[in-house]
């Protein structure tokens, strides 16, 4: 099964319409995205809870790291730079944090609010190498923007 981004975006839009609570939005997005594609082994948010610190938020899959500093890992890089991180091989990423030994590739997108501030990162791990594409990054980025930057 591979994701149908057009349908996924419409579904998430309908489910989140009128909701303003960030955690409720994150839980809904996580659930819908995680179950939309077999490549998505772990799906979830790490929230900015204090300067330069991410803490685990709503997620689906096995346990994740509880705290990630902006200075470490793929999630930290996305939060620090505000840029999407598309990593085909996590073992080749300097400073990768192995929250799960099964992770082979990762896609992490910064989540911006309406003021264009990073409020979280959206992390998708796959147990397959090179599982993600630019199409995934662009479509998921558009969904995140639709939900959190309004």
The string of pLDDT tens digits covering residues 90-130 is 888 887 787 777 889 999 999 999 999 999 999 999 999 99
pLDDT value at 28 more than 70: yes
3-class state of residue 65 by DSSP: coil
Strand segments, DSSP code E, in 74-117 are 85-87, 105-112
pTM confidence score: 0.95
pLDDT bracket for residue 1 (50, 70, 90): low
Angstrom distances, CA of residue 78 to CA of 13, 29, 47, 56: 24, 18, 12, 15
Q: Which residue is it, tokens 């994150």? A: 26
DSSP letters for 28-58: HHHHHHHTT-TT-SEEEEEEEEETTEEEEEE
Cβ atoms of 150 and 114 closer than 8 Å: yes
What is the Cα–Cα distance from 54 to 113, expressed in whole angstroms? 16
Q: Place domain 5-148 in its CATH homologous superfamily.
A: GAF domain (3.30.450.40)
Cβ atoms of 98 and 74 closer than 8 Å: no
What is the Cα–Cα distance from 112 to 11, expressed in whole angstroms? 20
**Residue-level pLDDT at 75:** 96
What is the Cα–Cα distance from 102 to 121, expressed in whole angstroms? 20
**Residue-level pLDDT at 97:** 80
pLDDT value at 47 more than 90: yes
pLDDT bracket for residue 20 (50, 70, 90): very high
pLDDT value at 2 more than 90: no
**Residue-level pLDDT at 33:** 98
The residue extents of the domains of the chain are: 5-148
**Residue-level pLDDT at 99:** 79
- In this prediction, residues 72-92 reach a mean pLDDT of 95
Picking from 40, 33, 55, the residue whose alpha carbon sits closest to that of residue 105 is: 40
- In this prediction, residues 66-81 reach a mean pLDDT of 96
């Amino acid at each position: 099964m591979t994701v149908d981004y057009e349908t996924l975006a419409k579904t998430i839009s309908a489910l989140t319409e009128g909701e303003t609570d960030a955690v409720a939005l994150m839980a809904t997005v996580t659930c819908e995205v995680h179950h939309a594609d077999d490549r998505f082994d772990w799906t979830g948010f790490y929230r900015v809870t204090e300067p330069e610190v991410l803490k685990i938020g709503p997620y689906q899959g096995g346990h994740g790291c509880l705290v990630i500093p902006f200075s470490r890992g793929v999630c930290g890089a996305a939060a620090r730079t505000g840029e999407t991180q598309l990593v085909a091989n996590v073992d080749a990423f300097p400073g990768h944090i192995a929250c799960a030994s099964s992770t082979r590739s990762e896609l992490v997108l910064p989540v911006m609010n309406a003021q264009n501030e990073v409020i979280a990162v959206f992390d998708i791990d796959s147990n397959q190498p090179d599982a993600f594409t630019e199409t995934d990054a662009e479509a998921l980025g558009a969904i995140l923007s639709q939900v959190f930057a309004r």
